[in-house]
Amino acid sequence: MKTRLTILLFLVMVFPLTAELFFPFIPVASSFDSVVPASVSLVSSTVPMDVGATMNFASSINITGNIVVAGNNVTSISGLSYSARARVFLDGSIIVRDNGTLILRYVTLYLMGSKRDYDRYIRLSSPSPDGHPRLIVLNATIIAFGYVAATKLSFGSVIDVRDNSEVTGKELSFSRAFFKDIGKPYPALLNCSGDSSVNLSYVFVESIRTYNNARVSVSMGAGPINPFTKKRESFIFNATGLSVVKFYGVNFTSSSVTGNASLSLAWSKQGAATSLSVKNWATVNVTAGSSLVGGLARNGIEAVGNSRVTISNSSMKGSVKTAGIILARDNATVSLNNCTLFGKIVARGRSLLYMSNMSKPTSYQQARIELREFAKGYLYNCLLGSAATGPEVVVYDKAFLSFVQSSMSYGFVRFYQTSSVYFSNSSVKTSQIFADDSSNFTLANGSSVGNSLEMRKNSSLRVESSSRVMALFVVGTARVSLVNGYVSMVQLKDDSKLSAVDSVIKELLFTGINVTGSWSGLTNFVANSSLTLGDRSPDLVLVNTFVDTVDVMFFGFSNVTVSNSTLRTINLQGSSVLSLLNTSFVLDAVNVLGSAKLYVWSVVRVRTVDYFGSPLSGANTSVLGGVTPFSPTIASRLSDADGWASFLLFSELFNSTGRFAVGDVQIYSKYNVSNSWVSARKNIVLSALSRDVVMSLPLPSWSVYILPSVVFVAVIVLLAVVSFLYGRIRKRQA
């Protein structure tokens, strides 16, 4: 007998647990649909007068009908402790109104008998203006339960908090009995509207919705446990109206904030490949270690229609570099402070993007920033990229980017379609920058580009205030202005234009295609000089600007003459012809291809003087094409009043087969003195630079006889003068 009693007591204790897990049997409950008096917790023929005081671990209570808490009543449905929980099977709903208070403590509440959507609920509402219904929760689990034929599809239920109602407490779990059945069409909701207030911690619910002026604060929350994966899911929230929602330490999935609603997230986590939609003047503030995750098909955050999103001290990550993490459009504003990024950020439709204090080496991990459609982006004190990751910045379609006190490495920057970009006190290292299609780019206040910068298609660049560019390529119809700037290497091509004032250009590479014209005066230091070759060639204007070396490249059918200049590298292709007059170049840096030709001309000025160094006017000066007296005469001139005769002499030819030099030539000068010719010869080597040659002629042959007599007479006269002076001195002494 004792053994049978022990087994019976064991079954009585175990049976409710199995019912809670598998629901094979639902106890029959008595009918109940009345307002609970203030003096009791639950009143029914099958329910004890004080549930909280009398319920024990093995208790199982069945109730049929609605529970209504009205007036000033305080009703408690509770167990004894965390381990001794009450189990209540309610075939009905709970309604709290007026100033009624419902307490759920250490209880598992099953909402039974659902036949339609949301026909089982807990509702707090107050028809009267002074009403303030309340729900107080301490470790309560609410499970919505229902069937549809053989599918066991659970219906949705709702905790509906309306009007001036209030919900407070901790450890609330609200879910359906059959989780994720048949596409999960009817989730269990926490619904907040009117001027309601909700303040809960450790909340596990499938969905939270807020309307009107609701105030909701949830800390440490997530969705219910998935019975298939055994992992806790994320919940969905939708905030609308003027509601204010605060989440701390929650896990959420695709959700929305619209219509002037406000959301604050701290230490919260977004589910992978989900989206947080922020629309129509809504405000979102993400702080303190939150994690936002986007995917290939959707952005982590979509800010639309004058909404505002502020994110600080948090991370945003897409599945790959091109996966979206933030999309701002239609006048939305997104502000990022001290965050880390992996993925793509897009701002368009006159939206604003602010980034600040993202200066850690891991701030930008392969991030792509894209501004378009009149959007504006402002980056301050940001560090983009590292050796292992390559960020991208793309600005186009009339967008604007301000890059201040920031740095970018190992990445790509592209500006086009009438965009505008301003760099101040910033640097771009080991990165490539392309400006195209009428875009405007300004480097100011000591900014620098440490790799290459290419300007194309009517784009413009201004480098000012001690800013520096390592390699600058100016092509198409691009325009560049240097004002107190420094460029290590600049290449001008096509119809581009470069003006420089008070600047330094270490290497100038001038490239022309099918150009014709002359070029003079480009030496190391150029002041107030303008160089133009034809209608379709680069224009160069230099004012008080130092140019260290000049390289030229000509293609097509170019025909150019360069005089009185200094060149380093010469590249000719096609049928181009380049003529150099008094211009130096590096012999080993000449490259001529195709049928192109390089002609080098030497200017030789010859001055003829007599035996005593006086210039001879009308001296016959000739240049002979050899070093012998029988060499042919190349050119001949008569010296001018100062004895000068100038010659333009061909020096050498470069073509695709090699170099052909004229070599040594002979200068021959002669002069007629009293029908007697005197002459002199001198051999010189022609070079690319001008040179002066002085030809000193000897005395004529008849002067050999006259000169000794003149010298003898002069000596006799000198001796006579000395003797006369000596005699006068002796007489005075006597």
pLDDT digit string, tens, across residues 518-575: 877 776 655 455 555 655 678 888 888 888 888 999 988 888 888 888 899 999 999 9
Query: What per-residue confidence (pLDDT) applies to 371?
Result: 96
Better-scored residue on pLDDT, 51 or 615: 615
Strands 620-624 and 633-638: antiparallel
pLDDT at residue 459 tops 90: yes
Pairing between strand 529-532 and 539-543? antiparallel
Kindly report the average pLDDT of the chain as a whole number.
83
Q: What letter does residue 410 receive in the DSSP assignment?
A: S
Enter the tokens of residue 284.
Answer: 């979102």
The predicted pLDDT at position 640 comes to 93
C-alpha atoms less than 13 angstroms from C-alpha of 127 in its C-beta half-sphere = 3
Just give the CATH number of 599-696: 2.60.40.10
Terminal Cα-to-Cα distance of the chain (whole angstroms): 185
> What DSSP string describes 289-354?
S-EEE--SSS-SEEEESS-EEEEES-EEE-SSTTSEEEEEESS-EEEEES-EEESEEEE-SS-EEE
Residue 531 pLDDT: 58
pLDDT at 101: 94
274-295: pLDDT as tens digits: 899 999 999 999 998 899 888 7
Contacts of 460 (CB under 8 A, 6+ apart): 439, 440, 441, 478, 479, 480, 481
Any idea which of 281-295, 380-394, 493-507, 596-610 has the lowest mean pLDDT? 380-394
Residue 227 has pLDDT above 90, yes or no: no
**DSSP H or E segment with residue 20:** helix 2-22
- Determine the pLDDT at residue 363: 65
Identify which has the larger pLDDT, 396 or 54. 396
Q: Is the model's pLDDT at 44 over the cut of 60?
A: no
Q: What percent of the chain has pLDDT over 90?
A: 50
| pLDDT value at 609 more than 80 | yes
pLDDT in tens, 158-190: 899 999 999 999 999 988 776 554 445 457 789
Label residue 8 by pLDDT band (50, 70, 90). very low
Pick left, alpha or beta for residue 602 (phi over 0 → left; psi -120 to 50 → alpha; otherwise beta): beta
Is residue 169 helix, strand or coil?
strand
pTM above 0.75, yes or no: yes
Q: How far apart are CA 439 and CA 453, in angstroms?
A: 13
Phi, psi for 357 (deg, rounded to 5):
55, 40
- Dmax over CA atoms of the chain, in Å, equals 185
Q: Is the pLDDT of residue 2 over 80?
A: no
Reported residue count of the chain is 734
Q: For strand 392-395 and strand 412-415, is the pairing parallel, antiparallel, or unpaired?
A: parallel
Instruction: Quick: pLDDT tens for 105-162.
Output: 999 999 887 766 677 899 999 877 789 999 999 999 998 876 554 455 556 678 999 9
Which CA distances in Å does 3 have to 10, 294, 324, 471, 612?
Answer: 11, 62, 68, 96, 151
- Could you say which DSSP state residue 141 is in? E
Question: Is 80 exceeded by the pLDDT of residue 730?
Answer: no
Per DSSP, the three-state class of 595 is: coil
Share of the chain above pLDDT 70, in %: 83
